Structure 1
Amino acid sequence: MDSYQPIVVSQEPHNGDFTSIQQAIDSLPDNAQHYQIIIHPGVYRERIVLARDNVHLTGCEQSETIITASCYNQQIQPDGSIPGTYGSRTVGVEAKHCSLSHLTIKNEFNFLENQAIPERLRIQHTQSVALLIGNNADCVECKHLHLESYHDTLFINGGKSYFHQCQILGSIDFIFGAGQAVFTQCDVVARNRPDIKHAQPYGYITAPSTNANQLLGFVFLQCRLLKEAGVPESSYALGRPWHPTTEFSDGHYADPSAIGHCAFVDCLMSDHVYGWDKMSGKDKNGDQTWFYPHDSRFEEFNNFIINQQQQIVRKRAMTYSLPTKQYQQRLQQVQNSLSSWLHFSFQF
């Protein structure tokens, strides 16, 4: 980082080069030089798009450098457009060889307030992304981030990304998409939902839509799956298979090639996790069809259940446990993928 050209963003006008993060990004020349944007403590109420390669956003302290906005799938924009899930993000990365570190990124859409009103009056499409790793992104490194929303917190749809010692909070499909991401030593926190009744699932931690030709989707290594107070036992699925509705030459239907990959390896899990679940989509005739975990690429190895004091109480009974040889192969594949663009060694 020391060799990168630094730019400072501060809410105190005389302490930095810019008072807005987006202004700092937009000021960068169109060349291949690396820039570090140092963001001083404060609450930055702005929606960010990072579309220039080789930019490194660095907060001064994760808990004190906060980027936040409120946007959801159905929210009508000033020009009359609807953003959809992809456009509902607080921060969107559409660049290569970038990094984000020591930041809190929130989407403040009030999911719980919406759920508390009568169903006929609710916003129905509540997807509200905090961080988007977009279609044009690749080789994005995220360290010491706090990501917070309820529905679709982290949308990973681009190339390769790496998350280290991050906290990711959400409820519904809150880590999802078609991209490849490796998570090491992260805390994945399931949120409480007072709107849930009659023993229904509270949510789904992941919803990968990895293409069948892509080896790796989401790989969680040495992570902790934790829960907020009040989240009951067996209320969250590790994941479910997302087959996004896609436009094909013969129609508009759930993508049959989205055979999601997700692996949890050497992780600690609270008792809210019950396993994997199914997910619905639309077939060529527009009828509802179901996609099941056993038809996806879901994997587990050497995971443990922990109590409220985060002490190990037993080994988790795993539904799709990897054989030892395949587990070792998977770790080598992850190592090879990361070492192709990150310049440090890994201890898994």
Structure 2
Amino acid sequence: MPRLPDRRAVVMGGFAGLAAAPALAATQRFDAVLSAGPDRRATRHFPTLAAALEAAPADSGKAFRILVPKGTWREQVTVTRPNVHLVGEGQGASVIVFNEYAAGRNRPGGPSEIATVTVLAPGFQAHRLTIANDFDYPGNMPAEVDYDRTGASGAQATALKLGKGSDKAYFEDVALTGWQDTLFTDAGRSLFRRCYVSGCVDFIYGMGVAVFDRCEIRSRTRPGKDFHGFIAAPDTNRKQPYGLVFLDCRLTRDGDMPDHTMALGRPWRHTMTFPDGRYGNPDAVGHTAFIRCWMDRHIVPEAWYPMHYNLKGGRRAMYQPEDARLFEYASRGPGAGKPSERRRQLTANQARKYTIPSLLSGWNPA
């Protein structure tokens, strides 16, 4: 059985080897700082991130900048005010972490969300920090079922959720670490620039438009298993041209992950409530594209796998990759593989449309 990571490796997701960011300029001023006492770098100080978020203006068009100093801030928070910017002192130095998970969400007194940070307002930004969910996934892996080698539900533990109300969310030099369902892009537009995202099962998922620009996408080993999961699980509406798009990214793996044991993704058809019952959303036709990405040999040759979903009346069906919008262009590295009916390739003309302004409907933060 592969070696279990220690607690710090769970939080940090194996990204400690990335270069440290330069120190913040001493002259920078913030609207708030997380501190037990006064700090000359900000006008106000707060003992918790939740308290600092509560102090943000409810309707301001200006950025409300919160300094998250070096250290581990164990909190579960929801951002409801617009234009909140979290700034850390380094990706590996400033860590916001919690351990909520799907099977524990309905316990008495428990929160309704499983994400460490949930964003429900526009203009959110995060820089130079980590948002993590350190739920003990290796110790609580669900048993395999006949329709899913990664098990039934229960072990989802999200680090970041971009929910209803989120739009124009920007992340730079941020690490998002977890195992299953690390990053939930459920709404709006988001851009991740030079970030690090780690996980194993469906760890980047949702119906929002999310662009990953020069990021490292790290696949984590499920201890004792011979298959380790799926990177992307798009739930894109059929009327929406783009979903999860990876531009010039690096797809890496844990050192003990064998070759050909991780899929690029699978299409998700989220179960929803309709007037005639609960079943998989028929308007979900997932879109994911990997453009000019380097891939290690952990990627399976066929690249994409099907995913189960519920039909009307409770029956289960499999959503095939060929029925969704899953593409590559100019993949490089030992995991690039050969084009096929399942591993579909964009043409050069099609790939030219995949620019950040086009993908994000004209929004392109500096």
When the two structures are superposed, what TM-score results if normalisation uses the length of structure 2?
0.83
The Cα shift of 1:268 comes to 0.2
Choose from 169, 181, 206 the match for 1:140. Answer: 169
Choose from 345, 351, 357 the match for 1:321. Answer: 345
CA distance in 1, matches of 2:49, 2:332: 41
* Structure 2, unaligned runs of 5 or more: 1-24, 146-150
How many residues align? The count is 325
**Does 1:129 find its partner at 2:182?**
no
Letter in 1 for 2:272: T
* Contact 2:142 2:155 (C-alpha < 8 Å) held by counterparts: no
Deviations 1:95-131 (A, max 9, x none): 1012111111110110001139999xx9951110001
Q: Give the corresponding residue for 1:302.
A: 330
Letter in 1 for 2:346: L
Q: Give the corresponding residue for 2:358.
A: 336
- Determine helix, strand or coil for the equivalent of 1:212: coil
- Determine helix, strand or coil for the equivalent of 2:101: coil
* Contact 1:146 1:166 (C-alpha < 8 Å) held by counterparts: yes
Q: Give the corresponding residue for 2:274.
A: 248
Q: 1:38 to 1:184 in 2, by over 3 A?
A: same
* Contact 1:112 1:195 (C-alpha < 8 Å) held by counterparts: no
Deviations 1:243-301 (A, max 9, x none): 00011111110111100000000000000011000000111020110100000000100
- Determine helix, strand or coil for the equivalent of 1:13: coil
Q: Give the corresponding residue for 2:6.
A: none
Q: Give the corresponding residue for 2:310.
A: 282
CA distance in 1, matches of 2:331, 2:144: 40
Matches within 5 A, 1:110-125: 110-115=136-141, 125=154
Q: 1:93 to 1:159 in 2, by over 3 A?
A: same
The Cα shift of 1:9 comes to 2.1
CA distance in 1, matches of 2:283, 2:299: 27
Q: 1:191 to 1:291 in 2, by over 3 A?
A: same
CA distance in 2, matches of 1:289, 1:205: 21
The Cα shift of 1:339 comes to 6.9
**Does 1:185 find its partner at 2:206?**
no
Choose from 93, 114, 134 the match for 1:88. Answer: 114
Deviations 1:293-334 (A, max 9, x none): 00000010000124xxxxxxx8542311011211113x24x4
CA distance in 1, matches of 2:142, 2:274: 38
- Determine helix, strand or coil for the equivalent of 1:168: strand
Q: Give the corresponding residue for 2:89.
A: 60
* Contact 2:198 2:217 (C-alpha < 8 Å) held by counterparts: yes
CA distance in 1, matches of 2:187, 2:142: 34
- Determine helix, strand or coil for the equivalent of 2:349: helix
Q: Give the corresponding residue for 1:234.
A: 260
**Does 1:49 find its partner at 2:82?**
no
CA distance in 1, matches of 2:100, 2:75: 11
* Contact 1:73 1:82 (C-alpha < 8 Å) held by counterparts: no
Q: Give the corresponding residue for 2:5.
A: none
- State the 4+ residue runs in structure 1 displaced beyond 6 angstroms: 116-119
Deviations 1:147-183 (A, max 9, x none): 1111100000011000011110100000000000010
**Does 1:292 find its partner at 2:313?**
no
Q: Give the corresponding residue for 2:21.
A: none
Q: Give the corresponding residue for 1:195.
A: 224
- Determine helix, strand or coil for the equivalent of 1:193: coil
CA distance in 1, matches of 2:154, 2:116: 17
When the two structures are superposed, what TM-score results if normalisation uses the length of structure 1?
0.87
Deviations 1:131-153 (A, max 9, x none): 11112200000111111111100
Q: 1:30 to 1:115 in 2, by over 3 A?
A: closer
Q: Give the corresponding residue for 2:199.
A: 170
Deviations 1:215-256 (A, max 9, x none): 110110000000001111110110101000011111110111
Higher-strand-fraction structure: 1
Q: Give the corresponding residue for 1:309.
A: none
**Does 1:19 find its partner at 2:40?**
no
* Structure 1, unaligned runs of 5 or more: 307-313
Higher relative contact order (CA 8 A, sep 6+): 2
CA distance in 2, matches of 1:217, 1:117: 30
